[in-house]
A and B are shown apart, each in its own frame.
Chain A
Amino acid sequence: MQAYTQKIREAARRLLSEKKVDVVIGFRKGTIPFMNEPFLARNAEQAAQLYWDGNCGINLANYVTKRTDRVAVVAKGCDTRNLVTHILENQIPRENLYILGVPCKGMLDKRRIAAELNGREANDVEESDGKVLVKGRGVELTLDRGEYLQDNCSICIHRNPVLYDELVGELVEEQTNVDRYADVRRVEAMDPGERWQYFEDLISTCVRCYACRNACPACYCPTCFVDESRPQWVGKTIDPTDTRTFHFLRAYHLAGRCTDCGSCERACPMGIKVRQFTKKLEKDVKELFGYEAGLSLDQRPALDAFQPDDPQAFIK
């Protein structure tokens, strides 16, 4: 991780001092364990603040949307897939982007690690050689890094950047023997009543802060449907009808666009597993159209192009 940080700083310093880009978007070290802050470096001097470790789960493609300057962005596998999606959806021109690709080893799941601490607080976290060393008041834990990755990272098969101008490290081996849709199949196997209840329980603690939506690079509508006031489509209460409407619609807006970066789930202050919605749609789009979002600039997104061999006949 330290090696990545050094490479990121060097590249950023070079790009900024040679005026190849106007700004570099990356992370700086957070003020608390398991958190880093998205950061905009505007000059070579500030490049020294850039930082990388297993707590960079927020998707930085979210910060380049509609930018008009020349931007270098530090991007792990999923972030680059969202950059591809952004380019395809005209959110930023390719020529304005300089992608500092980060071969990713997965991001840490702060909630699962917190659960191991049994209410005690972590003051310091270090990662090395596949281990996570967590230190806190009266506690010191050494965990196997691979066992404490975010859910999306543990089933990720696109850890390497799919599009980049420069890499900050050697490409990593992609995971192969992973079951990407075990969760979805479990829900699919439920009977309708059981499934309804599953989703009701899932979102029962939602406070409608919209962190999931706002952390998502694919949510960039100038005015989100939940913020429309004339007419107002969705109530602002925490009544299950309103909360449900928000989550269902949010998920459908991401069909064929979600890269399963997990930013939404990471951002949720209540720890709601919001990927349970988007993952099903990801699976459907893959099965119906053979499309995975953000893998190639040469393929139109499944839901914005018609192919004569599309499986559903009603549209023909």
Chain B
Amino acid sequence: MSEIYIAREKLPGIVEQWMGRYRLFGPVFQGQYHEFEQVKQPGAVDLDFVNTKLSPKGLFHPQAEKMFEFTLDKQNPEAGILKEIPRDYSERVILGIRPCDARAFVLDDVNFNTNDIKDPWWVRRRECSTLVGLACNDPCSTCFCTSVGGGPFDTAGLDVLLVDVGDGFVAQAVTPKGEDLLAGIQGDPMPGEAPQKIEDLKKAAEASLGKAFQVESFTQKNMLDLFSDPLWEEVQFSCINCGTCTFVCPTCWCFDIQDEVSEDKGARMRLWDACMFPLFTYHGSGHNPRGQKLQRVRQRFMHKLKYYPDKYGNGVACVGCGRCVKACPVNIDIRQVARLMSDGCVCPA
């Protein structure tokens, strides 16, 4: 796979070049934090960021998406027929995505893109996107990618990996799609020390992360033992049952489908939902199998850390981005929950 060097001052020009050919998305500073959005001005992309507040999952699985429109007008021969809303599948580049977030898409694919079932919008959005990642030279204290099978320089899910080596970026193609993207760029001469620099940066970043917990120590436990462990009583106490952790999470993919109707016009919407909300499992009968907070809290962590690995054999459904750790209003820390799942807690009766 090819590798090119881009001097720092050349990057805006390349961004502009890409903007001419593709729809370009990247981290943009919003006043308080960064978010991924479509870039209108080349200078708006800010790669000097830690990570975005929300994960980039919304680029593939929007929070609220109109899927179909319909009319209920009986006079209309098309009454009640769902009409798909056209979407823009023109080629796009997502620049500056972190390795953890790119890896999340690979984990999410098992839900949206299988041999049997393909979510057409997810699949086509994945196809039309080229992911240009940015390696994490300086992971933050809430990051724990190396504990869940990823890494600050991991290339899973990426088409190109950028490494900031100081005066510029080394861009490494990871996939043929990435090759194509780099083929269109005029690189600068690669500094001789770059390969060693990358090795050093990678080692330092990985060393700063360490291991927050050992995944195998709970994935190999008996499911029912974990399910009925008193640790959930301990974990659930502080939870206020908001949806923050699920909304910021790159691997929380659950959604609800609702029809919104006004007079005789309607739309079928797909909306992020959250296992933290009582309505998530509320049956038409009035019964709620997860009516208690404890059951909902347990569900979220068990889904990520036990059910998913059991079902897919693909590791845990957490990429260690640490967004939930930072955003939880009451400091429920998934690293701590994972440790409790490993060790069991000293929970009082």
Contacts and interface: CB of A to CB of B under 8 A. Distances in A.
Interface size class of A (residues with CB under 8 A): 35 or more
A237 interface: yes
Given A37-B330, A46-B348, A210 B243 contact: yes
Contact of A38 (B30, B260, B269, B330): B330
Contacts of A223: 278
A227 B278 contact: yes
Interface in B270-286: 271, 273-274, 277-279, 282
Contacts of A239: 64
Contact of B329 (A115, A229, A266): A266
Contacts, number: 108
B140 interface: yes
Q: Which of B138, B140, B244 has the most CB of A within 10 A?
A: B244
A3 interface: no
B327 interface: yes
A32 interface: yes
B111 interface: no
A39 B53 contact: no
Interface in A34-90: 35-40, 42-43, 46, 58, 62-63
A281 interface: no
Nearest to B243: A209
Contacts of A58: 329-330
Interface string B238-252: 101111101110000
Interface in A234-269: 235-239, 266-269
Given A111-B32, A227-B277, A31 B333 contact: yes
Interface size class of B (residues with CB under 8 A): 35 or more
Nearest to B333: A31
Nearest to A36: B331
B263 to A, nearest CB: 15
B64 A31 contact: no
Contact of A229 (B141, B269, B279, B325): B279
Given A38-B237, A227-B279, A237-B260, A269 B325 contact: no
Given A39-B238, A210-B242, A119 B50 contact: yes
B63 A207 contact: yes
Contact of B332 (A37, A63, A268): A37
Given A40-B237, A111-B32, A271-B33, 19 more contacts: A35-B331, A43-B348, A46-B348, A62-B240, A123-B141, A205-B30, A207-B54, A207-B63, A207-B243, A209-B274, A210-B242, A211-B240, A214-B242, A215-B242, A235-B260, A236-B271, A237-B260, A269-B248, A271-B32
- A-B interface, 9 closest residue pairs, ranked by CB to CB distance from nearest: A267-B329, A211-B242, A214-B240, A237-B64, A37-B331, A209-B243, A38-B238, A35-B331, A269-B327
